[in-house]
Amino acid sequence: MQADYVIVGAGSAGCAMAYRLSEAGKSVLVIEHGGTDAGPLIQMPAALSYPMNMKTYDWGYMSAPEPGLGGRKLVCPRGKVIGGSSSINGMVYVRGHAGDYEHWAESGATGWNYADVLPYFKRMEHWHESGQGGDPEWRGKDGPLHVSRGPRDNPLHAAFVEAGRQAGYPVTDDYNGAQQEGFGPMDMTVYKGRRWSAANAYLKPALKRENCDLIKGLARKVVIENGRAVGVEIERGGQVQVVRANAEVILAASSINSPKLLMLSGIGPAAHLAEHGIDVVADRAGVGQNLQDHLEVYMQMACTQPITLYKYFNLFGKALVGAKWLFAKKGLGASNQFESAGFIRSRAGIKYPDIQYHFLPIAVRYDGQAPAEGHGFQAHVGPMRSPSRGAVTLTSSDPKEAPHIFFNYMSTEQDWEDFRACLRLTREIFAQDAIKPFVKHEIQPGEALQSDDELDSFIRQHAESAYHPCGTCKMGAVDDPTAVVDPECRVIGVDGLRVADSSIFPRITNGNLNGPSIMTGEKASDHILGRRLPASNAEPWFNPNWETAQR
């Protein structure tokens, strides 16, 4: 029950660190509360709506009532299984924009600008071009994380990208390459027809080494002696035990559970800890603060032709897709169906994209419910950089209690302006000649809703989380009172303790967070091992007319 490094959380970053630290000859123990990822519901890409709605694989967290969304509580799925949220997510792979990492560095996360993180994205990737172009010079060739593309053989994919071009936006062959801005194919973490989670990519190979092991248990708190983290208290089989760390304890338990564990261990806002009778080890005001997420709505169109995935949306169709996948790992089951994407700027003066599109050739909700309309398609759209900030706080000092999660969605006027722009710009794209022949009518929001007030009401009722929570253990300068970890991922005020997962993001990145979370684990490993990959001198593309034009 001891090792050089004890990692809490077998999620995206934790698995990457287990792999790299054990590869370097260090002994590693990974603590995970969830169980196995075996079985078709997790491994089959098209079944993605199932695991995120199952208590077996999900912590089952809910937000507090959100005033900006009419008091609705939103689900906040977090993976409780090996692979963490990479085992229950939508498998969309986005690095984030170069400008995101420039902002990180400017806000105190020195050494994390794009030139510094790009080599880690390349190290972790095994990029499969699928004969569809892409930007091979910008991509990794032999990393553990396989990244591929869907076949894009449904005509709606080409129509969506062409509609974006007709509306005046760029087309990009690889949004993870030099140019994110524009419309084009979407990347996914799928390999040989299977979900390529952090567990498949990193943890399972690491566990084959003698110096890496997995312990199933609930982490209760970090054990701190004389200002130094020396282990983790866990509960398993009704027994409380301590897993000792000879070198360091690393929290990689998610943007919800990492701050919770810090607070249970006495690291956080002193007054809040005192409310729960927890002795203060380090008074860090930023623990649990700075919570961010992406909100999105589904713009749904009824389709004039029976070409959408709706034709498989019945018992027989699903059985057919499932059987083909089970026996051959091929067919519709082998894709997450998010095969086309778009990244655009909402207005002139925005330096890089602040709106993302996921295009889907069926009209359906994340919980797997299809509308009564039948054949349709949809674009998930939402702003990328909301100014709203929420918090994760303790509801009790009992480690089994879920924390209080308040996103504070849509709490600024800017949020509303940005979201209205998303809806209106999307309508304009869906009105282009390339996609017009497929559009029967607008299911949602519906053509009748046009005014600011009508659109606001729709957003309030229908906006959903894209499930990208982050920011609650912000990385920054040591003298920043709101920072929780320094740029080496070390918890400020405690020795021998680091946090490395999406909670350390100073600001949310463009797009889906799985890629940046794995990169965080990769880069943190090198900080721990006292080494660094040389910075890249690649020049990312920014729209030359960004100051004066929206497109």
Please enumerate, by residue number, every residue annotated as part of a binding site for FAD. 81, 89-92
Q: Do strands 28-32 and 145-149 pair parallel, antiparallel, or not at all (unpaired)?
A: unpaired
Query: Chain-centre distance of CA 25, in angstroms?
Result: 30
Task: Please state the residue numbers annotated as binding site.
Answer: 81, 89-92
The answer to whether the CB of 6 falls within 8 A of the CB of 29 is yes
Residue 410 near residue 295, CB atoms below 8 Å:
yes
Question: Which position among 157, 441, 468, 527 bears the catalytic label?
Answer: 468
Q: Given the structure tokens 């282009």, which residue do they identify?
A: 432
Helix (H) or strand (E) holding 254: helix 254-264
Question: What does the chain come to in residues?
Answer: 551
3-state secondary structure of 371: coil
CA distance 92 to 335: 10
Residue 276 known to be catalytic = no
Tell me which residue of 408, 377, 515, 415 sits closest to 100, measured CA to CA. Answer: 515
Give a three-class secondary structure readout of 448-494. Answer: CCCCHHHHHHHHHHHCEECCCCECCCCECCCCCCCCCECCCCEECCC
Q: How many angstroms separate the CA atoms of 410 and 387, rounded?
A: 9
d(CA 468, CA 76): 9
CA distances from 42 to 83, 250, 309, 541 (A): 10, 26, 20, 36
Give, for 428, the enclosing helix (H) or strand (E): helix 413-430
Q: Are 351 and 326 in contact (CB under 8 A)?
A: no
Give CA–CA dist 141/467, Å, rounded: 29
CA 383 to chain centre: 15
Nearest CA among 91, 11, 90 for reference residue 366? 90
Q: Which of 424, 423, 298 is nearest to 362 (CA)?
A: 298
Token pair for residue 125? 């990737």
Distance of CA 439 to the CA centre of its chain: 31
The angle formed by the CA atoms of residues 274, 254 and 222, to the nearest 5 degrees, is: 45
Spell out a b/e string for 409-425, using b for 16 or more CB atoms within 10 Å of the CB, else e: bbbeeebbebbbbbbeb
Can you list the alpha helix ranges (DSSP code H) found in 238-349? 254-264, 270-275, 315-328
Dist CA 125 CA 146 (whole Å): 6
Contact 324, 438 (CB under 8 A): no
Could you give the CA distance from residue 19 to residue 526 in angstroms, rounded to a whole number?
A: 12
For residue 381 the two structure tokens come to: 């759209």
Catalytic residue set: 468
